[in-house]
Chain A
Amino acid sequence: SQQGEEDPQALSIQEGENATMNCSYKTSINNLQWYRQNSGRGLVHLILIRSNEREKHSGRLRVTLDTSKKSSSLLITASRAADTASYFCATSYNTDKLIFGTGTRLQVFP
């Protein structure tokens, strides 16, 4: 399977703490994207990082990419209860198709 893997599978933290989730992928990529999915809902695009970039920020989100290790991390700082969701990484390479990781379920307790 081409599917990437994410860890941890599940993460529980208190509001105000930082949450870090990791994504590893198997093939070369043009870019890597992170998505959020609330329970039973569609996906919301969070951030895209290109293969020639190493770090990107968007508000409370920080994404890093290490192409030599074929891995990426998503850091959510000062988490809120509303951040409770599943987070997926997705990669693409020379194609329109997205290959999704296995996902991390984040629970933020008030």
Chain B
Amino acid sequence: GAVVSQHPSRVICKSGTSVKIECRSLDFQATTMFWYRQFPKKSLMLMATSNEGSKATYEQGVEKDKFLINHASLTLSTLTVTSAHPEDSSFYICSAQPGLGPDTQYFGPGTRLTVL
């Protein structure tokens, strides 16, 4: 089956630093990847859609300068949280779409970010 990995699984950082989270599709090519944010006991909120070789499309209310997304290859997208603050602490989940149609997204295991 299609596998998506995220690295790191957990990260703790100091306020003001930047953190990079990687999302990889391990056994398929993903033209589109999605980044979600999830607060404790809440649902997933789509942050942005990442297309290989082009700029990401951000959802309303998501700061593109704060959450930098790079989809440099068909198997890798990165989310960088710049100048992190405690309110950025959250669970970040990516998903990858293998291009078989809009129905199919495979989700990564998530990254727990804690900003002190």
Contacts and interface: CB of A to CB of B under 8 A. Distances in A.
Could you tell me the dominant secondary structure of chain B's interface residues?
strand
B108 A96 contact: no
Interface stretch (A11-19, A37-45, A59-67, A69-77): A37-45
Interface string A29-48: 01101010000111111001
Interface residues of B, number: 24
B107 A100 contact: no
A38 to B, nearest CB: 10
Interface residues of A, number: 24
Interface string B32-57: 10100000011111100100000000
A100 B109 CA distance: 17
Most-contacted residue by chain B among A33, A40, A44, A95 (CB, 10 A):
A40
Interface of A: 3, 30-31, 33, 35, 40-45, 48, 88, 92, 95-103, 105
